[in-house]
Structure 1
Amino acid sequence: MISSKTIKIAATGILCLAGAASLSAQFKTDAEFWNQPHIAKSFAASYGVLAKTEPDLEEEEQVIVKQVLTLLQENGDKDMALSTILNALSADPEATAAFDFIAANFYAEKGDLKNAIKYYDSAAKKHPSFLRAVRNGAIMKVKEGRYEAALKDFTKAIELGAKDTTTMGLLGLCYVNTGKYFSAETAYREAIVLDPNVKDWQVGLAKSLLQQRKYEEGIAVLEQILIDDPENDILWSSAANAYLGLEDAETAVAIQEIVDRLGKSTPESLIFMGNIYMSRSLNDLALTYFQRAIQKDPEQDPDVYVSVAETMTARGTYDQAVQVISDIESSFADKLSDDNKLSILRLEAQIGLATGGGEKVIPTLEELIERDPMDGQALLLLAEFNSGKGTTDGYSRADLYFERATKVREWETRALISWARSFVSRERFGKAIPLLERVQVIDPQDHIGRYLDQVRKVYIASQGL
């Protein structure tokens, strides 16, 4: 015989294990997070009786709970058990919040987050002090990635008396994912006080510290975690970024080398290394890392490597840029977007012009302009190439392209400056002055102001004034 007391306990405890098991999937890509003992234990433990916060059961409601228990104990028929609860709620929508809570647990076990949240919220609405409904609903919302909503529920749960490590830790997670890093730090510290052995809270604390640029504190936390998890490449990479934040590039590079030697390099970590070496003008070494990153995963987005090639071209490391472009085209041929292809064409044209192959790349530039008559960069490159010829015909063509380039808003300033310098090279100072004056109106720059003053002086002298 099942006693009334047992039934009442069961009303808030049915499927506690199911509730814990339902946390095992779909939190981003880290299912292991939800399978950890401290999460499951905390979720299950939340079903104990708290008389001050639990809804009471009328005698008729106890009978329904008994039916549900019987279905579970005799044949484990959870679908029928859920149907019994839903029928009771259908017959009386204002029935005890315990029914909504039980239904929510069933849905949580089935992985139906939408309905689990619906019934947890319903239980909390019927019985505002229903702590477990509020807290478990918050946990489900975290699983669904609804951090703002979960944040409100966790805050309410804390007001109702929840102060366990999982509540505080997941509160910290919500703060991190809503950009409230100082609050996240506070929550994670509280979670760690309650259970100092949970690595997730330590990692969360490190992240919240690094996002606040508290690099030294963040590094101290990461180093503590790495003592127990020395082959965690993500933590090593985070530490490297933190040292970079402290402008300690030497240590950052050394740490990424550790990741590399562990055999756990990722495209991101290799790109990190390449960027560091490129910033030091160790261009061949940088190229090696970029090439390894490209080869690491043929399915990755090529955008980042197009940006690398653009940076190399801007820095004048043309040989390396050409090699990166070649690797991009051979490795990502089917993944290159139209924008990628156009960017590569522009880079090839820039490199050709810079390395004396101007005549060969003119058709490429003309193709770019044919595709997009407002391609400011292509227009400016053609203008500068023709101006560089130093011939009457070249200057005439250059002026046409310069004028068109100044009509492209994002290229207007650069086109005006380059056009003015072209006129100065021809000793047509009077033509250069209004162009530089225009620059100072739309984008004032001290060095352009000084250049303008010099051109004016030369112009006045040339006129004998």
Structure 2
Amino acid sequence: MISSKSLKLAATGLICFAGCLTASAQYKTDQEFWNQPHIAKSFANSYEIKTQTEPDLTEEEQIAVKQVLDMLKADPQGSKDAALAAILKVITPDSSAALDFIAGNFYAEKGDLKTAIKYYDQAAKKFPSFLRAIRNAAIMRVQQGQYSAALKGLTRAIELGAKDTTTMGLLGLCYVNTEQYFSAETAYREAIVLDPTVKDWQLGLAKSLLQQAKYKESIAVLNQMLVNDPESDILWSSVANAYLGIDDPETAVAVQEIVDRLGKATPDSLVFMGNIYMSRGLNDLALTYFKRSIAMDSNQDPQVHVNIAEVMTARGAYDQATQVISDIRSSFEPKLTPENKLSLLRLEAQIALATQQGEKVIPILEELIERDPLDGQALLLLADYYSNKQDIDGYARADLYYERATKVREWEVRALISWARSFVAREKFGKAIPLLERAQVLQSQEHIGRYLEQVRKVHLAQLGSK
């Protein structure tokens, strides 16, 4: 039997994202994919046909295949193209499916997976129970990320009798990537029973458990893996996410600290740490991790850190948010999108207003409106600023900005309510009422309804006193 170079399957890895309980499949290089022992053992890229269980060859076809085998024996590497050409010459719509299968093997070995799939599919169409053709095509589709199509092929292969560790493991991988996590768990468990040494299947099982919120079970699987791979940052990070899932942030922090001490911290793992500390109100400690994450890699997506600055601002951690904004600008300036820049300007405006730096906020907001005249948030912030000045000129300017903000659909309700509150502050209740009524028509809110009733009562009382 003539065997090709070993084929490989990329590992399924768990990449834990900060603040969320997810893990996603990661793939190794193509070369690593095809050289893994469990793939090499299961994907027998043979140029001979098992005539008892697979399609027969005519005498002429047998001669052609023998010639190909002789060519390969004489020169295993150099004659591959010539051998493929010889096989292609004898393939016809009526020829044996075995020839299409052999052609598929040649193309798979060349790395032309698309063409390999074409010939495997042709073989399966000619001979519908051709197990190896169906299974090989499914493996190629996994490598190309065509998980739904691969799932059908692997399921069919299992129906025809394939139940080895690789078939079951790849079935689990396809289920994970089509978000069928319970089925993935079942497939991975069977793959592990068939071969408990394959790390890929253990990682896949841990992911399927995490996605089903079976955190304690996933911790058990990951801890078992850590016995053999105690310096794996991916495993430690996954364990930390699992502990966060069972509402044990203290242990999650302790576990993630191990990753840091191993010297394997990543921007994601540092953000993970910062998020946990921020959720516990330890903003200064959180800031140290966020700053380290920003400084670690200037090529990462700045939106992650823009989101962090938004959360800090919303929590009132203005000093820390200001530092994060400064670091974002200094580290990611070339990568910042126009929307990123607008978001940062809005945050600076909010911080300036909240910290009574009124004069500083005006040029920021005016720049935002100059860039986007329909920036509802900037219009509303500017309106609130002038309304809070509580003088005639301020109220006049505020009304102009409130009116412009009401013309921006996604900000209309908030602008109507804020404008109404401004009129209430001025004791102009009659002008506030129609604004609140309009807001309720657009988006009925119980607390605004109660507020409207109170304003109506005060307005009636005001009228009665005159």
- TM category (shorter chain) comes to over 0.9
SS of the residue aligned with 1:281?
coil
> What is the deviation of 1:441?
2.4
Contact 1:22–1:109, Cα closer than 8 Å, also in 2: no
Counterparts of 2:131 and 2:87, CA distance in 1: 21
* 2:155 is aligned with 1:155: yes
Counterparts of 2:183 and 2:430, CA distance in 1: 61
State the match for 1:366 in structure 2. Answer: 366
State the match for 2:4 in structure 1. Answer: 17
Contact 2:374–2:408, Cα closer than 8 Å, also in 1: yes
Amino acid in structure 1 at the alignment position of 2:410: E
Residues 1:430 and 1:52: Cα distance change in structure 2 (over 3 Å):
farther
Residues 1:49 and 1:87: Cα distance change in structure 2 (over 3 Å):
closer
> What is the deviation of 1:418?
1.3
Output one character per residue of 1:288-328: Cα deviation in whole Å (capped at 9) or x when no partner: 00000001111111111111111111222111111111111
Contact 1:23–1:40, Cα closer than 8 Å, also in 2: no
Contact 2:10–2:27, Cα closer than 8 Å, also in 1: no
State the match for 1:142 in structure 2. Answer: 142
Amino acid in structure 2 at the alignment position of 1:357: Q
SS of the residue aligned with 2:411?
helix
Amino acid in structure 1 at the alignment position of 2:99: F
* 2:102 is aligned with 1:85: no
SS of the residue aligned with 2:44?
helix
Moved more, 290-299 or 311-320: 311-320
Counterparts of 2:266 and 2:428, CA distance in 1: 55
Counterparts of 1:33 and 1:74, CA distance in 2: 28
State the match for 2:171 in structure 1. Answer: 171
Counterparts of 2:349 and 2:226, CA distance in 1: 48
> What is the deviation of 1:140?
0.6
Amino acid in structure 1 at the alignment position of 2:7: A
Counterparts of 2:337 and 2:326, CA distance in 1: 16
Cα RMSD for the two superposed structures? 2.0
Residues 1:28 and 1:249: Cα distance change in structure 2 (over 3 Å):
closer
Amino acid in structure 2 at the alignment position of 1:30: K
* 2:28 is aligned with 1:30: yes
Contact 1:274–1:285, Cα closer than 8 Å, also in 2: yes
Output one character per residue of 1:313-366: Cα deviation in whole Å (capped at 9) or x when no partner: 122211111111111111111111111111111122222222222222212211
Counterparts of 2:258 and 2:279, CA distance in 1: 20
Output one character per residue of 1:39-74: Cα deviation in whole Å (capped at 9) or x when no partner: 211112888965554000111111001110111111
Moved more, 327-336 or 211-220: 211-220
> What is the deviation of 1:22?
6.1
Counterparts of 2:163 and 2:432, CA distance in 1: 71
State the match for 2:115 in structure 1. Answer: 115
Alignment of structure 1 residues 421-432 onto 2, 5 Å: 421-432=421-432
Return the TM-score normalized by structure 2: 0.92
Amino acid in structure 1 at the alignment position of 2:81: D
Amino acid in structure 2 at the alignment position of 1:21: L
Counterparts of 1:309 and 1:102, CA distance in 2: 58
Alignment of structure 1 residues 26-105 onto 2, 5 Å: 29-31=27-29, 32-44=32-44, 51=51, 53-76=53-76, 77-89=79-91, 92-105=92-105
> What is the deviation of 1:93?
3.2
Alignment of structure 1 residues 238-249 onto 2, 5 Å: 238-249=238-249
State the match for 1:445 in structure 2. Answer: 445
Quote the sequence identity (%): 72
Output one character per residue of 1:74-130: Cα deviation in whole Å (capped at 9) or x when no partner: 1231111011001111xx332111111111111111111111111111111111111
Counterparts of 1:338 and 1:434, CA distance in 2: 37
SS of the residue aligned with 1:390?
coil
Output one character per residue of 1:27-50: Cα deviation in whole Å (capped at 9) or x when no partner: 964134543211211112888965
Counterparts of 1:391 and 1:237, CA distance in 2: 56
Aligned residue pairs, count: 449
> What is the deviation of 1:23?
5.2
Alignment of structure 1 residues 389-400 onto 2, 5 Å: 389-400=389-400
Moved more, 119-128 or 352-361: 352-361
Bigger relative contact order, structure 1 or 2, given CA contacts below 8 A and separation 6+? Answer: 2
Residues 1:46 and 1:219: Cα distance change in structure 2 (over 3 Å):
farther
